[in-house]
Amino acid sequence: MHRTEPGLVETGSPAHHWRVQAHLPVDYQVEMTSGVLDPSNLALLEAGATVRADRLRRFVVVDATVYDLYGDNLRKYLDHHNVEYSICVLPASEEAKTMESVFTVVNRLDAFGISRRHEPVIAIGGGIVLDIVGLVSSLYRRSTPYVRVPTSLVGLVDAGVGIKTGVNHGFHKNRLGSYFAPAVVLLDRDFLATLDDRHVSNGLAEILKIALIKDARLFQLLEDHADLLLAERLTGQTQTGDAVAGEVFSRAVGGMLEELQPNLWEKQLERVVDYGHSFSPTLEMRALPALLHGEAVTIDMALTTVLAEARGLVSARDRQRIFHLMTKLRLPTWHPLLEADLLDHALQETVRHRDGLQRMPIPLGIGAACFLNDLTATELANAAQTLRDLHHPSVAAVATDSRPDPVA
Amino acid sequence: MHRTEPGLVETGSPAHHWRVQAHLPVDYQVEMTSGVLDPSNLALLEAGATVRADRLRRFVVVDATVYDLYGDNLRKYLDHHNVEYSICVLPASEEAKTMESVFTVVNRLDAFGISRRHEPVIAIGGGIVLDIVGLVSSLYRRSTPYVRVPTSLVGLVDAGVGIKTGVNHGFHKNRLGSYFAPAVVLLDRDFLATLDDRHVSNGLAEILKIALIKDARLFQLLEDHADLLLAERLTGQTQTGDAVAGEVFSRAVGGMLEELQPNLWEKQLERVVDYGHSFSPTLEMRALPALLHGEAVTIDMALTTVLAEARGLVSARDRQRIFHLMTKLRLPTWHPLLEADLLDHALQETVRHRDGLQRMPIPLGIGAACFLNDLTATELANAAQTLRDLHHPSVAAVATDSRPDPVA
């Protein structure tokens, strides 16, 4: 990126033109830990706090589901450390990811009162709650430090580690939001013990994304150990399971951060991590609440894998491996809404979002990606049809069989 | 400021700790122009546009008062240049400076649709509308470029040239907001021709602030030409008037930017431009809608000038010059709400806002400032009483006369 030197340049006498240049430094930590709510683990207490006070004060926002499961532990943790605290419980659903929820947190924050620079807001929950609290923190008094503690697998490997915040508005996903870095992100796999199967798979979709676009070794790990990872929910109940989950995590988070760090504000519009996010935003919003984020992303990846195969960028064998792994990870590879009009609309939205070009990340075999700008509506419709056929092979076969034989 | 090098540092094998460092570059232009709505002036058309399109599209938000006066000119300007546009008119009052207004603009923006990177939102109006549109732009799709065209004097020399955005929330001024630089700020003094007297004085308060804390020459200009500046509304109807207004503007804007540039995100809490903004936020909100921003700021400056005099930091002669100029500029130097409890509360809020210390900018004579951290409630109450006495000299005199003579 072109770097400009900070400063103020005046032109004219008396001056009538000024150019203001500056850099906002961003610096945050992403840390794997374990037993984050165990009183002997000080990470949560110390995260983002620059000054040691006599008595700590913390404002904590917790996902309702997480609160049901870990609320007691959280209170015990805070009580043990004699923290004065207020806990704000938020429902976590796409429908509740609105400015109304932002106001709920803001009003509770107003009532509690914090020393904005030394009492970081703590957000514990899935990606939705982290996105909401991130937005609150960026808006509250124009910026208030916060700590992210993702509890879902999507949060741990994707939504939790970047700097994006946002809420839905008027049927548009993340229409209002900001780029606002947390002070610290604490990643604790232990939360996954209580995650339901569907949400484990949901998170594996984002790990699979990183594998497909940049990490063949990660793909191999997922392929070799899918059942073990699912059975142990990546929490490492066996020695092998722990070693595999640890490496999967490290590669997924590290790979994600490698892509994010040089492009935190998304000025560069060609982003491999956008893979699976070209058609899924529209699909996810239209299908609400039927599809989870990672499910919609997987359907998008399935579609674009088929597209890539049709272009000769992915072999039939690799396409089969990919679909096989998706299914093994209990992720969907098709959805009935995947029709031409939805795809056209989604592509239009994505092109607008990417400043007039498709900039469509597409797999190159397994573990690499390139970008397409010349995808056609026909290609898309064909890919959707192929996907439908793959999903309903018997129907496709019957349809083929019933075609009048041109030779007969 | 300590500079960290951008990059990603990994620790462990497999990695379990990452440090993400990056810089967000900010770069914007502040430009004085004239006749900004004159079709021959291309500044507004070209501001913030990086790509030349066949037909330009612009979404323009305009202050209701400004729209009444300049709506026709604006439409003619856009029509002349064959721009496809949508104009969103916003009421401009502190009461309307809310998230509701943000949503109004967002929904209109959704309906119009823009190419987020090449069709900058244009905001034309006073500081309130600029603050609202700045917040919309920072939130809309996590950032949308915008152009600021301030029309009030406060906007031209203060609110318009920085990067702060915000709205009021729950009785708190600017409780929700962001730091979000415009692409370009166009400063056109011609708008002042239609500004009412009270708002001209309101803006002169912020110019006076810059004079008091850092520019004795600017103070002198104001003192020597107050009547002329007021009579011509700083639009330069005479040769002298134009030269003086030009220099006043240049010094006020340049002085402001000199202070803002090294501290755009207000990490440094000792800010001389906070002068007049220690007690005024509370006063302004409590007195709503009685006091304009600059009026509240002047009352704060009057109070702190008296404080400074009591400490020997400003001479009696300088205090008189300052009060004389405030009055000449038709600005208030006292308000009945200026009682001990309001002052105590305001100081508390300010201390909290400034991270536990008063960091109170206070004049050192005329044209310089220092910071206090040891202001007492008694000192404040005494200063408020002195201010009251200065405002009602006869009452004070009577009160003094009726005191029993200790000697008699």
Would you call A108 an interface residue with chain B, using a CB distance cutoff of 8 Å? no
**The last residue of a domain, from among A152, A169, A195:** A195
Does residue B265 belong to any structural domain of this protein? no
Kindly state whether residues A191 and A204 are assigned to the same domain. Answer: no
Tell me the three state secondary structure of residue B120: coil
Does residue B344 belong to any structural domain of this protein? yes
pLDDT tens column, B97-148: 999 999 999 999 999 988 877 899 999 999 999 999 999 999 999 999 999 9
Residue to mutate among B261, B266, B267, B285, with most A CBs inside 10 A, is B261
CB contact under 8 A, B142 and A99: no
Would you call B5 an interface residue with chain A, using a CB distance cutoff of 8 Å? no
The region of weakest confidence among B7-11, B66-70, B75-79, B307-311 is: B7-11
Does residue A14 belong to any structural domain of this protein? no
Which chain B positions have a beta carbon within 8 Å of A6's beta carbon?
261-262
Q: What is the CATH number of the domain that holds A307?
A: 1.20.1090.10
CB B95 within 8 A of CB B33: no
For this structure, is B214 an active site residue? no
A359 is in which domain, residue-wise? Answer: 198-259+271-394
Would you call B43 an interface residue with chain A, using a CB distance cutoff of 8 Å? no
Would you call B142 an interface residue with chain A, using a CB distance cutoff of 8 Å? yes
pLDDT tens column, A185-229: 999 999 999 999 999 999 999 999 999 999 999 999 999 999 999
Q: Which two structure tokens, joined as six digits, stand for B206?
A: 């912020």
* Percent of residues, chain A, with pLDDT higher than 90: 85
Quick one: pLDDT at residue B374? 97
Kindly state whether residues A217 and A286 are assigned to the same domain. Answer: yes
Quick one: pLDDT at residue A310? 97
Q: What is the average pLDDT value for chain A, to the nearest integer?
A: 93
Neighbours of A6 (CB within 10 A): 18
Kindly state whether residues B206 and B177 are assigned to the same domain. Answer: no
Whether the predicted interface score ipTM is above 0.85: yes
CB B333 within 8 A of CB B299: yes
- In this predicted structure, the answer to whether residue B407 has a pLDDT above a threshold of 50 is no
Which candidate in A76, A97, A164, A214 is catalytic? A164
Quick one: pLDDT at residue B395? 55
Q: Which two structure tokens, joined as six digits, stand for B2?
A: 């300590």
Would you call A160 an interface residue with chain B, using a CB distance cutoff of 8 Å? no
- Choose among B106, B181, B257: nearest Cβ to A176: B106
Does residue A13 belong to any structural domain of this protein? no
Kindly state whether residues B179 and B203 are assigned to the same domain. Answer: no
Residues in chain A: 408
**The last residue of a domain, from among A179, A195, A211:** A195
**Whole-number Å distance between alpha carbons of B363 and A382:** 74
Does residue A22 belong to any structural domain of this protein? no
Quick one: pLDDT at residue A393? 72
**The last residue of a domain, from among A195, A226, A245:** A195
CB contact under 8 A, A257 and B169: no
CB contact under 8 A, A261 and B20: yes
Q: Which two structure tokens, joined as six digits, stand for B396?
A: 């004070």
Kindly state whether residues B231 and B373 are assigned to the same domain. Answer: yes
Quick one: pLDDT at residue B355? 85
Does residue A169 belong to any structural domain of this protein? yes
User: Taking residues A78-95, what's their average pLDDT?
Assistant: 95
User: Taking residues B86-102, what's their average pLDDT?
Assistant: 94
Three-state secondary structure along chain A?
A: CCCCCCEEEEEECCEEEEEEEEEEEEEEEEEEECCCCCCCCCHHHHCCCCCCCCCCEEEEEEEHHHHHHHHHHHHHHHHHCCCEEEEEEECCCHHHCCHHHHHHHHHHHHHHCCCCCCCCEEEEECHHHHHHHHHHHHHECCCCCEEEEECCHHHHHHHCCCCEEEEEECCEEEEEEEECCCCEEEEEHHHHHHCCHHHHHHHHHHHHHHHHHHCHHHHHHHHHHHHHHHHHCCCCCCHHHHHHHHHHHHHHHHHHHHHHHHHCCCCCCCCHHHCCCCCHHHHHHHHCCCCCHHHHHHHHHHHHHHHHHHCCCCCHHHHHHHHHHHHHCCCCCCCCCCCHHHHHHHHHHHHHHCCCCCCEEEECCCCCEEEECCCCHHHHHHHHHHHHHHHCHHHHHHHHHHCCCCCC
Kindly state whether residues A84 and A222 are assigned to the same domain. Answer: no
pLDDT tens column, B37-62: 999 999 999 999 877 677 899 999 99
Kindly state whether residues A211 and A343 are assigned to the same domain. Answer: yes
pLDDT tens column, B169-228: 988 889 999 999 999 999 999 999 999 999 999 999 999 999 999 999 999 999 999 999
Domains in chain B, number: 2
**Whole-number Å distance between alpha carbons of A89 and A149:** 14
CB A92 within 8 A of CB A105: no
pLDDT tens column, A359-372: 999 999 999 999 99
- In this predicted structure, the answer to whether residue A144 has a pLDDT above a threshold of 60 is yes
Quick one: pLDDT at residue B13? 87
Q: Which two structure tokens, joined as six digits, stand for A339?
A: 């029709």
pLDDT tens column, A242-273: 999 999 999 999 999 999 999 999 999 999 99
Q: What is the average pLDDT value for chain B, to the nearest integer?
A: 93
User: Cα A62–A24–A172 angle (5° rounding)?
Assistant: 50
Does residue B24 belong to any structural domain of this protein? no
Kindly state whether residues A277 and A336 are assigned to the same domain. Answer: yes
Quick one: pLDDT at residue B26? 96
Nearest to B381 by CA among B287, B279, B270, B275: B279
Say what the alpha-carbon torsion angle B73, B74, B76, B77 is, to the nearest 10 degrees. Answer: 110
**Whole-number Å distance between alpha carbons of A171 and A160:** 23
Q: Are strands B164-169 and B84-90 parallel, antiparallel or unpaired?
A: unpaired
How much is the pTM? 0.90
CB A366 within 8 A of CB A286: no
Quick one: pLDDT at residue A158? 92
Sign of dihedral through CA atoms B274, B223, B331, B321?
A: positive
CB A278 within 8 A of CB A308: no
Distance between A165 CA and the closest CA of chain B, angstroms: 8
Quick one: pLDDT at residue B118? 84
Kindly state whether residues A296 and A356 are assigned to the same domain. Answer: yes
Q: Which two structure tokens, joined as six digits, stand for B118?
A: 């090449």
A4: confidence class by pLDDT, cuts 50, 70, 90? low
A402: confidence class by pLDDT, cuts 50, 70, 90? very low
**Whole-number Å distance between alpha carbons of A288 and B186:** 44
Distance between B268 CA and the closest CA of chain A, angstroms: 12
- In this predicted structure, the answer to whether residue A304 has a pLDDT above a threshold of 80 is yes
Q: What is the CATH number of the domain that holds A166?
A: 3.40.50.1970
User: Taking residues B391-408, what's their average pLDDT?
Assistant: 51
Kindly state whether residues B123 and B221 are assigned to the same domain. Answer: no
Size of interface A-B (CB pairs under 8 A): 213
- In this predicted structure, the answer to whether residue A2 has a pLDDT above a threshold of 90 is no
Distance between B85 CA and the closest CA of chain A, angstroms: 18
Does residue B407 belong to any structural domain of this protein? no
User: Taking residues A109-130, what's their average pLDDT?
Assistant: 92
Quick one: pLDDT at residue B1? 41
Quick one: pLDDT at residue A395? 54
DSSP lists the bridge partners of residue B408 as: none
Kindly state whether residues B210 and B82 are assigned to the same domain. Answer: no
Kindly state whether residues A227 and A169 are assigned to the same domain. Answer: no
User: Taking residues A322-350, what's their average pLDDT?
Assistant: 96
Quick one: pLDDT at residue A263? 94
